[in-house]
Structure 1
Amino acid sequence: MKSSKSENKRPLRADAVRNEDAVLQAAKEVFLTSGVNAPVRDIAAKAGVGIGTLYRRFPQRSDLVASVFRREVDECAAEAATLAAKNSPLQALTLWLKRYINFLATKKGLAAALHSGDPAFEALPAYFRAHFEPALIALLSAAKESGEIQRDADPYDLLRAIGNLSVTNNEDDIQHTYRILNLLIKGLRFEEGTSETEK
């Protein structure tokens, strides 16, 4: 057990990094279609690695699920800055919130896993908020400064509101959530006053 712990602290070799990336990407795709309880052998086969390789890096299923979740959170949060650099503040905010909706919709079975009591998931809600809330704060702040939305919009309230809407990965439901998002954006703009062309 001691040697295993010390090995986990060492930097991964290039081939190990590639294997881990392949496993996480494969797990993401398998979880999307089959949920987080999909057979691990399916993930290993899709990643092109042996089942032993997968288990050495992720001894428990919960370790794999948590790693996929953190990777997806990182990618989604990082996209906020990319969108802000290429779009107007309100456009960047809207596009990122749609990206966030897609993130939630593709986490099939994750809600049940998070409430399973497994210690591997205990830190995930805090990780979620610690990455998404700053990303949304930056986008909201830019939109507020540009005068496009009202100044009392609360980022965590917005994250929770959209989270409550995003309960499945059904395409019709995602489109419905997009429509509700558009209503939310209009609501954010209303109190600040609309231009003559918008009335």
Structure 2
Amino acid sequence: MTKLRKDAEENHSDILDAADIIFASQGITAPLDLVCRKAGVGRATLYRHFPDRHHLIVALLERGIEETAAKADELGERDDAFFVLLRFHAERIHARSSLIDYWRVLDRTAPEVRRVRERFHQIFSPLIFRAVEAGACRPDIQVDDVTLLVSMLGSALRGRTADEQARLSLRAFELMIEGLRPRAGGGAREAAA
């Protein structure tokens, strides 16, 4: 029984790894047979783990969120953890361009989408609070702004090559950071007035 469970866990992980590679190179609509072949599993095994493409993609999104959570844990109580985690996204976003495109068109009210968003906010919320408390971040930044920031990083995906996308996402990050810093001589409201 334990061996079967271990094999199932390995298959699950192999399928996600394969889907990540296939979707990154061929897009989100790539044939699932390519994912099966890359993972070394049959279609029945794929569908036992993921009943359809949507569930496979949501699992990839959830895995990405847990990678973000692990990075946040690794950063500990650093005052700059919010900025480091945003850079973490900027460095990786070009490799997940097809997932970003899919995320943009998902029904925001679907339970699995709400679950991913809530987890994302749960990770970033304390980091934002700590950055604001340390005076490193504008006081008007809210956790909902993180979704906007990640979307802004996603705009770098318009580059023609992976290298250009990586360069553009890091440039977008650099520009974004300046907008997140507290303004000299007053808060965001005073600067806008």
TM-score by length of 2: 0.76
Equivalents in 1 of 2:104, 2:86: separation in Å? Answer: 22
> Counterpart of 1:132?
120
Name the CA shift for 1:116/1:155 in 2 (closer, same or farther; >3 Å).
closer
How far apart are 1:128 and its partner, in Å?
A: 2.9
> Counterpart of 2:83?
94
How far apart are 1:61 and its partner, in Å?
A: 2.0
Paired AA for residue 56 in structure 2? L
Aligned residues: 177
CA-atom RMSD, angstroms?
2.8
How far apart are 1:104 and its partner, in Å?
A: 4.1
Paired AA for residue 31 in structure 2? P
Within 5 A, what are the aligned runs for 1:112-131? 112=102, 115=105, 122-131=110-119
How far apart are 1:109 and its partner, in Å?
A: 3.3
Equivalents in 2 of 1:17, 1:33: separation in Å? Answer: 25
> Counterpart of 2:21?
29
How far apart are 1:47 and its partner, in Å?
A: 1.2
Gaps of 5+ in 1: 1-11, 194-199
Paired AA for residue 57 in structure 2? V
Residue pair 2:97, 2:154 contacting (<8 A) in 1 also: no
Residue of structure 1 aligned with 2:163, choices 171, 181, 196: 171
Equivalents in 2 of 1:126, 1:70: separation in Å? Answer: 11
> Counterpart of 2:190?
none
Equivalents in 2 of 1:26, 1:97: separation in Å? Answer: 26
Name the CA shift for 1:122/1:179 in 2 (closer, same or farther; >3 Å).
same
Paired AA for residue 13 in structure 1? R
Equivalents in 1 of 2:172, 2:49: separation in Å? Answer: 40
Q: Give CA deviations for 1:27-60 in whole Å, capped at 9, x if unaligned.
A: 1111111112112121112112223211222232
**Residue 47 (str. 1) matches residue 39 (str. 2):** yes
How far apart are 1:103 and its partner, in Å?
A: 5.1
Residue pair 2:18, 2:35 contacting (<8 A) in 1 also: yes
Name the CA shift for 1:171/1:44 in 2 (closer, same or farther; >3 Å).
same
**Residue 105 (str. 1) matches residue 94 (str. 2):** yes
Equivalents in 2 of 1:93, 1:113: separation in Å? Answer: 22
Residue pair 1:41, 1:51 contacting (<8 A) in 2 also: yes
Q: Identity across aligned pairs (percent)? A: 28
Residue pair 2:93, 2:153 contacting (<8 A) in 1 also: no
How far apart are 1:192 and its partner, in Å?
A: 5.7
